[in-house]
Amino acid sequence: MMYAEIVVNVPIRRTFASRLAEPPVEEMEPWPPESAPGNGAAENRAASTLQTFHYSLPPQLEGQVRPGHLVWAPFGAREVQGFVLRLSDHAPVATREVLRLARPDPVLTPVQLELATWMADYYVAAPAEAIKLFLPPGLLEKEGQGAGVRAKRELQVEWIGPSNLPDLGAGEPDGGQDNWAELARSTPGSRTLAYVLAHADSRPSVDEVRDACALKSPSAVNTLVEKGVLRQDAEGRLSLAQSREESRAILASMQGLDRYQPLIAALRAAGGPLWKSDLAAQTDGGAGLSLLRDLAAVNLISLEERTRFRDPLAGRTYAHTKAPTLTDEQTAVWQAIRARGFGSRLRAGARAHFLIHGVTGSGKTEIYLHAIGETLAQGRQAIVLVPEIALTPQTVARFAGRFPGRVTVIHSGLSTGERYDVWRKVREGEFDVVVGPRSALFAPLPRLGLIVIDEEHEPSYKQNAEEWGSHTVFYDARRVAERLADLSGSVLILGSATPSLEAYQSAQRGRLTLVQMPRRLVGHGTQEGTVYAELPPVEIVDMRQELRADNRSVFSRSLQAELHATLDAGEQAILFLNRRGTNTFVMCRDCGAVARCTRCDSPLTYHERAGTLICHHCNRKYPIPTLCPECNSKRIKYFGTGTQRIEELIGEIAPRARLMRWDADTTTGKGSHEQILERFSNHEADILVGTQMIAKGLDLPLVTLVGVIAADVGLFLPDFRSGERTFQLLTQVAGRAGRSARGGRVVIQTYSPEHYVIQAAAAHDYAGFYAREIEYRRELGYPPLQRMAKLVYWEKNAEKAQAMAERMAQQVQAQITALGLRPESVTIVGPVPAYFARYRGYYRWQILLSGDDPSAIVRSLTIPFGWRVDIDPVSVL
């Protein structure tokens, strides 16, 4: 007898004393409840073990079921889906039988299954949730007896008729042989016209026509004459009243053949098969099934249902590019990577993990491309992670252009069908390179050999535990990629101009091999040889001095002067503001009350164009207050400056400059990022005002000035990473200037010019920043010097929230004792209300654990519903 250990896709709430084949029916309760918000809470240790159950395999499934298979199995009174974790020849308990396979092939590769199991353990999450990360959405939905989303089948149409098909109406309708004739509707009128057309030169008599066309009466002839289609001369002989061409068209319409004309024209022009929906689009919808069936019936076209790939890159063409010769600096870096990473197929256990620390524009992407080329040459495949694909169309184009037909993308903008198709095709080995955000890590490439993480420092690589929604594994793609590289024997390359402290520290400790690319490249392979650009000079402007000099504008005198100089030179500028909306908050001048979101308590932002106040936390909109709700005063004031306001203010100082705004408000539509980017790079605007988004890897040669309006925003948030974030942001934004031989300048406006973060960013001094920052983390026991786990509780009732948080803190203390840990080996902060203490009507409390291995404590806890477990949190806000 064979048994399968199965992770059932059912959230289970209860704790069971022992591992059962399945829980008694009355113990089962779906978990979490549909409406619950804290459903992010990783189910506890109980779930991690209890979600696996033993089932026996019926004889007909033996030998068919493999680890990674999705199956249907009985569970209490229900049938549920489950993932086969492993097979064994014994089971610890009595078992029921697996019912059937839900899909013919395993849905996870062995490496993926191992990775999922590791993730569930590392992130203290339910195994089913970890496994589901590897599957396209919709796959598990119930559809009949199988699994949900399917391949798309569509009719494909191809012309198979003669290439010299005579024109419509040209033939003898009663000839019988030709395909047209079979389709043509035969009426007395159509027969008459056809006959006269064919015998126009001999001017047939009415009798002759009646005879030849089997007309019972002359009325058809008379009608055609009356309508001016035929002419009858004095002797009663018939001829065409219209030109031959027009007569043919009239005949075609009388025969009902004109309906086919656009279809046939499109099909013949295509010179190959066309999908029915594409044909319909080309013919203004005139590709109805009955028309197609008619044509197929007379063997003019073939109609066949085929699987259609819903291609996320459909309709895009990428110019094929060749690898340039590397610069000396790139050659050195590439050789270092190649020697360690690609010498031979990586032996299991060998590590080839690299960190490329290279300034923006130093040529890192070219190294990634070389690494991919080498990987493909060895018959293996690559995953390339980029922070936010909508913001990096240029990057996608570079990969797709270098390896035509072998690259596909995964991102959140894809439809369920597209995602499923990409997953399926990747699994079948039809693509060798997958580009996408963190979830692209889960692409089922069968021969993975390389993982690249571009802009490694980006916070978006971590699944955000603060997010609304039902993500239950708050994983960090960088950590998971490391594990995946080890499991699959792949090379791992991280790249950044501003590496995360974690990555840089790993490099310092030798876990990653550090390679440096300190110089920005502007030209290579030209007559001038390799040309490097200086990093742009950065000027720090002390905004306190501006006030003292009586400049109350948000633009310092220096920034104004630079802006004018840039515009005069016909160049472009980027103004960066870490904030959107017109103003940041709305306050009563008399009592100081601030307009806040009733669900989140966070101050509301005034959006002038929308005419509303918006909560940037939950997006709820509020009317603009005319009276203070606290004291009824009419003296309401708007404070702060957002992107919209900046736009207006520029209008005042540089009225002729063409402006463009790039922030979350202007980029809601599909493809809007790409459009803004393209329009700006086509110089359709002189100044781009934007938030974080513009800090991403854009390559805009005409941009010679970057202005940071207020560098301090974010610097003083009570989060141990606020300094690191600000440094990264300032460095990245500054990196947008001077990407060409024109050079560039950066102006950073700040109220804290002496702060080490600002100073280091202005000096492009990563090492200096790192030295200060790591020291600060060491002093306070923050990551990466200690590990951290965050427990967050969500609850609508304020008292309950606090009580539950306190109860959890007691449990934590009890477990520390139970595990025999020294109390001083763990630091516990909390329970305290989270920084964003209210969110969408929920109160949020948190407990932070830091130490050498806080996860061990978390694993030992019983975690009630409503809690979220965040291992290695990227923020403690």
User: Which residues of the shown chain bind ligand ADP in the complex (CB under 6 A)?
Assistant: 324, 326-327, 330, 358, 360-366, 521, 524-525, 699
Query: In 3-state terms, what secondary structure has residue 315?
Result: coil
Distance, CA of 288 to CA of 319 (rounded, Å): 36
Q: Judge if the upstream peptide bond of residue 188 is cis by omega within 30 degrees of 0.
A: no
Q: Is 325 exposed, middle or buried (0-12, 13-18, 19+ CB in 10 A)?
A: exposed
The least distance separating Zn ion from the CB of residue 615, rounded to whole angstroms, comes to 3
Q: 849 forms bridges with which residues in the sheet? A: 789, 828
591 contributes a contact to Zn ion by CB under 5 A: yes
Q: What angle do CA 426, 428, 430 make, to 5 degrees?
A: 60
707 binds, among ligand ADP, Zn ion, none (CB under 5 to 8 A by kind): none
Helix axes of 110-122 and 477-488: crossing angle, nearest 10 degrees? 140
The entry of Zn ion, ligand ADP, none that residue 324 binds, CB within 5 to 8 Å by partner kind? ligand ADP
Q: Which one of ligand ADP, Zn ion, none is in contact with 617 (Cβ closer than 5 to 8 A by kind)? A: Zn ion
330 binds, among ligand ADP, Zn ion, none (CB under 5 to 8 A by kind): ligand ADP
CB of 721 closer than 8 Å to CB of 755: no
Q: Which is nearer to Zn ion, 94 or 631 (CB)?
A: 631
Shortest gap between Cβ of 34 and Zn ion (angstroms)?
22
Q: Is 268 left (phi over 0), alpha (psi -120 to 50) or beta?
A: alpha
Q: Which H or E run includes 424?
A: helix 416-427
From the list Zn ion, ligand ADP, none, pick the one residue 358 interacts with, judged by a Cβ distance below 5 to 8 Å according to partner type.
ligand ADP
Measured from the CB of residue 505, what is the shortest distance to ligand ADP in angstroms? 22
Name the 3-class secondary structure at 202.
helix
Q: Which amino acid is at 731?
A: T
The Cα 501–Cα 503 span in angstroms is: 6
In whole angstroms, how close is the CB of 838 to Zn ion at the nearest point?
Answer: 8
Q: Please report how the helices 393-402 and 364-377 are oriented relative to each other, as an axis angle in degrees rounded to 10.
A: 40
Report whether 424 contacts 446 (CB < 8 A): no
Q: Are 687 and 659 in contact (CB under 8 A)?
A: yes
- Taking CB under 5 A as the criterion, the residue among 194, 597, 694, 826 binding Zn ion is 597
618 forms part of the interface with Zn ion (CB under 5 A): yes
Q: Which does 588 bind (CB under 5 to 8 A by kind): Zn ion, ligand ADP, none?
A: Zn ion
Say which entry of ligand ADP, Zn ion, none residue 525 contacts (CB below 5 to 8 A, set by partner kind): ligand ADP
593 touching Zn ion, by CB under 5 A: yes
Cβ nearer to Zn ion, comparing 73 with 586? 586
Asked if 630 interacts with Zn ion (CB under 5 A), we say yes
Taking the CA atoms of the chain, what radius of gyration do you get in angstroms?
A: 35
Region from 199-207, 218-226, 622-630, 681-689 binding Zn ion, contact rule CB under 5 A = 622-630
CA angle 379, 384, 390 (to 5 degrees): 140
Query: Per-residue DSSP letters for 705-717?
Result: EEEES-TTTTTTS
Residues sharing a CB contact under 8 Å with residue 200, sequence separation 6 or more, in sequence order: 239, 240, 244
Q: Please state the φ and ψ torsions of residue 210, each to the nearest 5 degrees.
A: -60, -40
With binding defined as CB under 5 A, does residue 588 bind Zn ion? Answer: yes
**Cβ-based nearer residue to ligand ADP, 234 or 319:** 319
Of 358 and 690, which has the nearer Cβ to ligand ADP? 358
558-577 positions binding Zn ion, by CB under 5 A: none
Q: Rounded to the nearest whole angstrom, what is the least distance from the CB of residue 677 to ligand ADP in the complex?
A: 15
Phi-psi bin for 619: left (phi > 0), alpha (psi -120 to 50), beta? left
Pick between residue 192 and residue 605 the one whose CB is nearest to Zn ion: 605
Going from the C-alpha of 831 to that of each of 472, 653, 805, 806, the distances in angstroms are: 22, 50, 6, 6
Residue 312: CB minimum distance to ligand ADP, A: 23
Partner whose footprint covers residue 383, from Zn ion, ligand ADP, none (CB < 5 to 8 Å by kind): none
The binder of 365, among ligand ADP, Zn ion, none, by C-beta within 5 to 8 A per type, is ligand ADP
The only residue of 221, 615, 858, 869 in contact with Zn ion, by rule CB under 5 A: 615
DSSP string, 258-306: GGGHHHHHHHHHHTS-EEHHHHHHHTTT---HHHHHHHHHTTSEEEEEE
Instruction: Output 207 or 630, the one with its CB closest to Zn ion.
Output: 630
Residues 659-698 that bind Zn ion (CB under 5 A): none
291 touching Zn ion, by CB under 5 A: no
For position 491 contacting Zn ion by CB under 5 A, the verdict is: no
600 binds, among ligand ADP, Zn ion, none (CB under 5 to 8 A by kind): Zn ion
Among 633, 722, 802, 813, the residue binding Zn ion under the rule CB under 5 A is 633
628 is an interface residue for Zn ion by CB under 5 A = yes
Please give the structure tokens belonging to residue 362: 């130093």
- In angstroms, the CA 240 to CA 246 distance is 10
Residue with smaller CB distance to ligand ADP, 110 or 324: 324
* 603 DSSP 8-state letter: B
Token reading at 528: 């001038």
364 binds, among Zn ion, ligand ADP, none (CB under 5 to 8 A by kind): ligand ADP
**Cβ proximity to ligand ADP, 440 vs 517, nearer residue:** 517
Between 280 and 326, CB nearer to ligand ADP: 326
Q: Is 385 helix (H, G, I), strand (E, B) or coil?
A: strand
CB of 796 to Zn ion, least distance (A): 14
Nearer of residues 597 and 654 to Zn ion, judged by Cβ: 597
Smallest distance from ligand ADP to CB 246, Å: 58
Report the residue number, 338 or 620, with the smaller CB distance to Zn ion. 620
Q: How far is the CB of 81 from ligand ADP (least distance, A)?
A: 42
Nearer to Zn ion, 457 or 617 (CB): 617
Give me the numbers of helices (H) and strands (E) for the chain, helices first please.
26, 37
Identify the H or E element spanning 846. Answer: strand 842-851
- Binding residue for Zn ion (CB under 5 A) from 338, 351, 599, 742? 599
The interface partner of residue 615, options being Zn ion, ligand ADP, none and the CB cut-off 5 to 8 Å by kind, is Zn ion
Nearer CB in complex with Zn ion: 631/829: 631
Q: Which is nearer to ligand ADP, 365 or 749 (CB)?
A: 365
Binding segment (CB under 5 A) for Zn ion, from list 421-429, 600-608, 668-676, 868-876? 600-608
Rounded CA-CA distance 709/556 in Å is 9
The strand pairing partners of 746, in sequence order, are 538, 706
User: Distance (Å, rounded) from C-alpha 403 to C-alpha 397?
Assistant: 10
Nearer to ligand ADP by Cβ, of 54 and 520: the residue is 520
- Which of 352, 600, 700, 858 is close enough to bind Zn ion by CB under 5 A? 600
Q: Which stretch binds Zn ion (CB under 5 A): 423-431, 448-456, 616-624, 714-722?
A: 616-624
Query: From Zn ion, ligand ADP, none, which one binds at residue 699 (CB under 5 to 8 Å depending on kind)?
Result: ligand ADP
Q: How far is CA 571 from CA 439, 522, 738, in A?
A: 38, 17, 11
Q: Indicate the residue among 397 and 618 with the shorter CB distance to ligand ADP.
A: 397
State the first-to-last Cα distance of the chain, in angstroms, to the nearest integer.
Answer: 53
- Nearest Cα neighbor of 777 from 716, 723, 846, 835 is 723
Minimum Å distance from CB 327 to ligand ADP?
5
Q: What does the DSSP 8-state code read for residue 448?
A: E
Q: Give the footprint of Zn ion on this chain (CB under 5 A).
A: 588, 590-591, 593, 597, 599-600, 615, 617-618, 620, 628, 630-631, 633
